[in-house]
């Protein structure tokens, strides 16, 4: 059993700890929720545990489909053991349907299906407001090679194939999501988390939003939405599973 050691970092939704295995870290998922660059703050009861379990299920699914991820195991309800990665400071956003900032950028109503999947890169720099950047900017910054950029894009699309199909079977439309990658011994792996905090999921029947937009936009029933996503992902949703 790996032992938790020092806190390495506290983010908005997770705390990261070193362990007695130098190649592994522990992620403790928090109930805290933030939006709009931290200007909106709150808590979603049980979110940490739900997001840890949803992430564990989705990383396992992706591993089984040949995507390399940092996931090793759930240590308890809200605690995940992973490989330690050198993170690439880039957020990779993959989109199937217009929503959020893309709707604003292109002037598309939310819900308009995209002709092709769109992959975007954002530079993870709070002081700059996480600006959108392109491959040339990433190469200029020296934070990833052209090859690694290509790999992040291709893996993002592979993840999309797997997750769109998986969520569709659960009665959910995968609208968009954010991925983060890191390197372990020079090998690119999927890191961070995969949960309703960083995916947009809409109920196929009702069109209801079942993700962090319920918190961002004060839509109510936030916990209930996360709980229903967890139930569907783990196959314990009640019959129909309407939301």
> What is the distance between the alpha carbons of residues 102 and 104, in angstroms, rounded to a whole number?
5
Q: How far is the CB of 178 from ligand UDP (least distance, A)?
A: 4
93 touching ligand UDP, by CB under 6 A: yes
210 touching ligand UDP, by CB under 6 A: no
Return phi, psi of residue 171, to 5°.
75, 25
199 touching ligand UDP, by CB under 6 A: yes
Q: Counting beta carbons within 10 angstroms of the beta carbon of residue 19, is it exposed (0 to 12), middle (13 to 18) or buried (19 or more)?
A: middle
> What is the distance between the alpha carbons of residues 56 and 145, in angstroms, rounded to a whole number?
29
Phi-psi sector, 132: left (phi>0), alpha (psi -120 to 50), beta: beta
Instruction: Scan residues 146-185 and list those touching ligand UDP (CB under 6 A).
Output: 176-178
- Between 9 and 146, CB nearer to ligand UDP: 9
Among residues 100, 143, 158, 183, which is the contact residue for ligand UDP, using CB under 6 A? Answer: 100
Instruction: Scan residues 212-231 and list those touching ligand UDP (CB under 6 A).
Output: 212
Q: Which pair of structure tokens corresponds to residue 47?
A: 């979110």
Instruction: Scan residues 105-124 and list those touching ligand UDP (CB under 6 A).
Output: none
Question: How big is the chain by its Cα radius of gyration, in Å?
Answer: 17
Q: Given the rule CB under 6 A, which residues bind ligand UDP?
A: 91, 93, 99-102, 130, 176-178, 198-200, 212
């Amino acid at each position: 059993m790996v032992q938790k050691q020092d806190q390495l970092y506290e983010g908005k939704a997770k705390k990261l700890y070193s362990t007695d295995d130098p190649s592994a870290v522990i992620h403790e998922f928090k109930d805290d929720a933030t939006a709009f660059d931290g200007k909106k703050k709150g808590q979603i009861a049980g979110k940490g545990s739900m997001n840890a379990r949803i992430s564990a299920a989705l990383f396992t699914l992706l591993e089984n489909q040949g995507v390399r991820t940092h996931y090793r195991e759930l240590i308890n309800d809200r605690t995940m053991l992973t490989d330690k990665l050198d993170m690439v400071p880039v957020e990779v956003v993959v989109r199937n349907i217009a929503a959020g900032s893309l709707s604003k950028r292109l002037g598309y109503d939310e819900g308009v299906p995209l002709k092709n999947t769109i992959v975007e890169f954002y530079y993870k720099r709070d002081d700059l407001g996480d600006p959108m950047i392109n491959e040339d900017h990433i190469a200029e910054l020296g934070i990833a090679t052209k090859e690694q950029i290509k790999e992040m894009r291709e893996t993002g699309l592979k993840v999309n194939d797997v997750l769109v199909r998986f969520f569709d079977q659960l009665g959910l439309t995968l609208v968009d999501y954010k991925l983060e990658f890191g390197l372990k011994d020079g090998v690119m792996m999927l890191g961070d988390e995969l949960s309703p905090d960083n995916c947009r999921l809409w109920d196929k029947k009702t069109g209801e939003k079942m993700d962090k937009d319920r918190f961002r936009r004060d839509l109510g029933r936030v916990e209930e939405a996360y709980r229903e996503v967890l139930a569907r992902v783990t196959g314990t949703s009640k019959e129909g599973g309407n939301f």
